Amino acid sequence: MKRLNSSTVDIPRATRPRIVHFGLGAFHRAHQAVYTEAPWGIAAVAPRSTDVVTALREQDLLYTVTDTTTRVIGSIVEALHLGSDATRVGELLASPDVTVVTLTITEKGYRSGPVIGALAAGLAGRFRRGGAPINVISCDNMTGNGRVLERAVRESVTGPGRDEMLAWLAESVAFPSTVVDRIVPATTPEHRAQAAEALGLDDAVPVFAEPYRQWVLEDAFAAEVPPWDGARFVPDVTPFEQQKLRLLNGTHSALAYLGSAAGYETIADVLASDWGEKFVRGFGAEAAAVLPGEHGPYVDQLVERFRNPAIRHRLSQIGSDGSLKLPERWFGTLRDTGSQPLLELALAAWARATEPGASTGMTDPRSGELAACWSATDDVEAVRRLLRLIDAPDLDSLPKAVATHLPALRAGRVEL
């Protein structure tokens, strides 16, 4: 079978990048890259792995996204590797042609890893080269992601000229907050086979996504942005952010840990169980009770989205990095309500997943510290240590209530 490239598929493309994106995962390729159209082009930078960069270059930067149909996406016009293409990344960040930087580096990318430092260095280069205004847009699942990114960048500015650089950042660089939403599981070998069948061409890096997509951006820019058809520009993203993080991501994480305890593999498998839908509705009602507005239709929609059997979204993927995700997803509700029965059950399932020998396939940058909490004398103490480690609010009442769920979960039973 022939390979997907610009000689086998001819679509309109931008000639040069005006956006630099950090994080070349499936989510970016099925979200921001789908919203972006010529004449806007993206230079997409992979922070670590060269695999996707190499594969995309072999395909002239073309790849497919499959939802209800299979479509070739051409908005990425340059693929770079942060380590080996650092000079080019710096050049682009300094160029006045580039007016937008977007990031999907996951929660942990804001605390460690190479991107924030490279971004701050690139912005310093831009400042020295005339300082054209620019927008730097976080697309990660965090409360106030624009503020988080701005703080991380400012903290990376050191050395001579720091004060001038900080003043320029405040004046000429916008860090709008955003809410992004699309369920995009990691690509599997089966996806490659299905994409090849649909397209009649071989695509080494296809992406499969649900049909739904949403992008809400704080309308506070310092420079030109693409029209991004279908995106919403609002003065304050907070209501969208709370709904998305607490209801979608909060429920997702809960299903990941509970489903894993019960031996399931994917979100759709959990929804097909006798407790899955009931849990989504109950957890949604607990979380929605403290949010302004009406969230019933959103929860109804979540049930349908999670149930989609075409999307095999693995619990091990969603449950990974819990120590960073849970504060974003569960602690807002916990802070506003004190504890809630289904949130306690979910916390217990997370605790269970951190226990040595739970064999969930989930990873976490703090897995060693989490596992060490289990050297405690009993479950209540182990849970207390775990919750303290992740700075859980409402610590006093929680450990006991959470620990009562552990025996059933260890036996693979989810009791609502």
If the CB atoms of residues 40 and 257 are measured against ligand CS2, the closer one turns out to be: 257
CA distances 220 to 134, 145, 178, Å, are: 11, 14, 11
In whole angstroms, the minimum distance from the beta carbon of 251 to ligand CS2 comes to: 9
Farthest-apart Cα atoms in the chain, separation: 65
Read off φ and ψ for residue 92, nearest 5 degrees: -65, -45
Q: Which residues contact 202 (CB under 8 A, 6 or more apart)?
A: 1, 2, 3, 4, 192, 196
Single out the segment in contact with ligand CS2 by CB under 6 A; choices: 111-119, 159-167, 180-188, 354-362.
180-188
In whole angstroms, the minimum distance from the beta carbon of 368 to ligand CS2 comes to: 21
**Considering only residues 18, 29, 126, 182, which one is a binding residue for ligand CS2 as defined by CB under 6 A?**
182
In whole angstroms, the minimum distance from the beta carbon of 184 to ligand CS2 comes to: 7
If the CB atoms of residues 18 and 182 are measured against ligand CS2, the closer one turns out to be: 182
CA distance 24 to 120: 19
If the CB atoms of residues 99 and 145 are measured against ligand CS2, the closer one turns out to be: 145
Q: What is the DSSP letter of 202?
A: B
If the CB atoms of residues 157 and 288 are measured against ligand CS2, the closer one turns out to be: 288
Do the bridges between strand 63-66 and strand 70-73 make them parallel or antiparallel, or are there none, so unpaired? antiparallel
Single out the segment in contact with ligand CS2 by CB under 6 A; choices: 62-70, 178-186, 287-295, 347-355.
178-186
CA distance 376 to 91: 52
If the CB atoms of residues 99 and 266 are measured against ligand CS2, the closer one turns out to be: 266
Does position 26 bind ligand CS2 by CB under 6 A? no
In whole angstroms, the minimum distance from the beta carbon of 317 to ligand CS2 comes to: 5
Lay out the site mask for ligand CS2 across 37-66 (x = CB under 6 A, - = otherwise): ------------------------------
- How many of the other CB atoms lie within 10 Å of CB of 160? 7
If the CB atoms of residues 42 and 180 are measured against ligand CS2, the closer one turns out to be: 180
Does position 181 bind ligand CS2 by CB under 6 A? yes
E strand or H helix at 21, and its extent?
Answer: strand 19-22
Single out the segment in contact with ligand CS2 by CB under 6 A; choices: 97-105, 177-185, 338-346, 408-416.
177-185
Does position 34 bind ligand CS2 by CB under 6 A? no
Does position 326 bind ligand CS2 by CB under 6 A? no
Cβ atoms of 205 and 44 within 8 Å: the answer is no
Residues in the chain, how many? 416
If the CB atoms of residues 108 and 154 are measured against ligand CS2, the closer one turns out to be: 108
Q: What is the footprint of ligand CS2 within residues 221-280 (CB under 6 A)?
A: 249, 252
The DSSP secondary structure of 102-129, one letter per residue, reads EE--TGGGGTSSSHHHHHHHHHHHHHHT
CA distance 262 to 350: 12
If the CB atoms of residues 181 and 218 are measured against ligand CS2, the closer one turns out to be: 181
In whole angstroms, the minimum distance from the beta carbon of 183 to ligand CS2 comes to: 4
What residue spans of 294-378 are helical by DSSP H?
Answer: 296-307, 315-319, 322-329, 331-337, 341-354, 367-372
Does position 141 bind ligand CS2 by CB under 6 A? yes
Lay out the site mask for ligand CS2 across 302-321 (x = CB under 6 A, - = otherwise): ---------------xx---
Cβ atoms of 9 and 161 within 8 Å: the answer is no
Q: Which residues, in sequence order, are bridge partners of residue 100?
A: 19, 135
Q: How many CA atoms are closer than 13 Å to the CA of 256, on its beta-carbon side? A: 28
Only one residue has tokens 């059997």, namely 309
Single out the segment in contact with ligand CS2 by CB under 6 A; choices: 51-59, 181-189, 221-229, 402-410.
181-189
In whole angstroms, the minimum distance from the beta carbon of 107 to ligand CS2 comes to: 9
If the CB atoms of residues 98 and 318 are measured against ligand CS2, the closer one turns out to be: 318
**Total residues interacting with ligand CS2, rule: CB under 6 A:** 9
What residue spans of 36-188 are helical by DSSP H?
Answer: 51-58, 86-94, 115-128, 145-155, 162-172
E strand or H helix at 6, and its extent?
Answer: none
Does position 183 bind ligand CS2 by CB under 6 A? yes
In whole angstroms, the minimum distance from the beta carbon of 12 to ligand CS2 comes to: 28
If the CB atoms of residues 165 and 180 are measured against ligand CS2, the closer one turns out to be: 180
Single out the segment in contact with ligand CS2 by CB under 6 A; choices: 1-9, 175-183, 283-291, 380-388.
175-183
Q: Which residues contact 85 (CB under 8 A, 6 or more apart)?
A: 45
List of residues contacting ligand CS2 (CB under 6 A): 141, 181-183, 249, 252, 317-318, 325
